[in-house]
């Protein structure tokens, strides 16, 4: 364990597997995270049941992987730890199916705090409520585990009825391989709000908007769409990889002096005080529940805005230009394989 940062980081030696070795874990869902958690736990010697609807398309895959499959209600009723890994939008309905099967002292566990933080799920008072959240897509959680490596993760305790919630969550994190890399302790509120903000303002929303605006600027100025694609989208991965490996300074040290000076002197003209103000607005909408209410209502209405926005993104010119370009290069096949990782179920 280290406390050099502002928070605590746990590793393998901090986890006591006895808290989970004799217990049964129900993993509800067999998508991106569900398949990784189930297989990693099973390979770690934990008794795992996968909870899936009787008509789920993932049932055959889970059974082919050697896992026992039951309905969510039956799996939860048999388990000591119930890990809810179905999508956020269907978790409240699934919780209603499993509620009666939860017994005092059980653990109700999540990999994202949305429904607990925004009160879409109100758990019984006599169960532990925890979070173990790998900070990576599920296919990488599985791949890293099989390679003897780990995936960094987050741990949070919302409700500790038994007094052993943290120990049991750490044992679970050990079972899926997260403590090999390190697990940071946080809270449901902090994980949920920072995750939503990061997705919207930087990682998914901000980055894709920046790519499209840059692409359109070059194309509208008369440059070849293929050149605009490579400069504004393809090379994004190269830069992000450098930052991921060793921070911003590593990236600046790895690019040319011309690129470094141009980026340092011009970047804040694009992402300026106005962009910061918009980021603060987005954060406030996350904090006060505006986004959560909007997303819940959107799903209740059948996702009309979501569908329109998704269609616009998929038909953007940068997508039409990029697909044939990616097919020309050897790395296109690798990217396609990664994209075919299972979705949440």
Euclidean distance between CA atoms 208 and 320, whole angstroms: 15
Catalytic residue among 112, 117, 139, 174: 112
- Under a CB-based contact definition with an 8 Å cutoff, are residues 25 and 81 in contact? yes
38 contacts: CB under 8 Å, gap ≥ 6: 27, 30, 48, 50, 62, 65, 67
- Phi and psi angles of residue 139, each rounded to the nearest 5 degrees, phi first: -65, -30
Rg (the chain; Cα; Å): 22
Residue 332 to residue 326: CA distance in whole angstroms = 5
Q: What is the DSSP string of 81-134?
A: EEEE-S-GGGHHHHHHHHGGG--TT-EEEESS-HHHHTTS----TTSEEEEEEE
Q: How far apart are CA 239 and CA 235, in angstroms?
A: 7
Alpha-carbon distance of 258 to 114, in angstroms, equals: 43
- Report the alpha-carbon distance of residue 156 to residue 150 in Å, rounded: 19
Q: How many CA atoms are closer than 13 Å to the CA of 246, on its beta-carbon side?
A: 6
Cα distance between residue 173 and residue 178, in whole Å: 5
Report which of 138, 163, 157, 173 is spatially closest to residue 20, judged by C-alpha positions.
173
Q: Is 112 a catalytic residue?
A: yes
Annotated catalytic sites, by residue?
A: 112
């Amino acid at each position: 364990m280290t406390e050099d940062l502002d928070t605590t980081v746990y590793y393998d030696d901090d986890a006591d597997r006895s808290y989970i070795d004799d217990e049964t874990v129900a993993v509800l869902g067999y998508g991106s995270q569900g398949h990784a958690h189930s297989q990693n736990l099973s390979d770690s010697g934990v008794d795992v049941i996968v909870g899936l609807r009787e008509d789920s398309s993932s049932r055959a895959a889970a059974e082919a992987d050697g896992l026992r499959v039951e309905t969510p209600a039956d799996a939860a009723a048999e388990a000591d730890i119930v890990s809810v890994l179905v999508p956020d939008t269907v978790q409240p309905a699934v919780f209603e199916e499993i509620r009666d099967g939860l017994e005092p002292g059980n653990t109700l566990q999540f990999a994202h705090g949305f429904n607990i933080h925004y009160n879409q799920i109100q758990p019984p008072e006599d169960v532990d409520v925890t979070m173990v959240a790998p900070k990576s897509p599920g296919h990488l959680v599985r791949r890293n585990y099989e390679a003897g490596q780990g995936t960094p993760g987050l741990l949070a305790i919302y409700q500790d009825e038994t007094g052993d919630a943290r120990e049991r969550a750490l044992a679970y994190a050990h079972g899926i391989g997260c403590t090999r890399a390190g697990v940071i302790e946080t809270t449901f509120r902090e994980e949920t709000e920072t995750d939503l903000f990061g997705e919207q303002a930087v990682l998914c929303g901000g980055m894709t908007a920046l790519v499209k605006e840059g692409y359109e600027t070059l194309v509208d100025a008369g440059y070849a769409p293929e050149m605009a694609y490579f400069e504004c989208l393809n090379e994004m991965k190269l830069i992000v990889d450098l930052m991921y490996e060793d921070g911003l300074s590593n990236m600046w040290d790895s690019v040319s002096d011309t690129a470094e000076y141009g980026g340092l002197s011009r970047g804040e003209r694009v992402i300026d005080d106005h962009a910061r103000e918009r980021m603060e607005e987005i954060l406030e909408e996350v904090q006060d529940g505006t986004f959560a209410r909007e997303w819940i209502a959107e799903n209740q209405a059948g996702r009309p805005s979501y569908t329109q926005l998704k269609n616009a993104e998929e038909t953007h010119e940068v997508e039409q230009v990029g697909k044939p370009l990616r097919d020309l290069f050897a790395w296109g096949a690798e990217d396609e394989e990664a994209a075919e990782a299972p979705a949440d179920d």
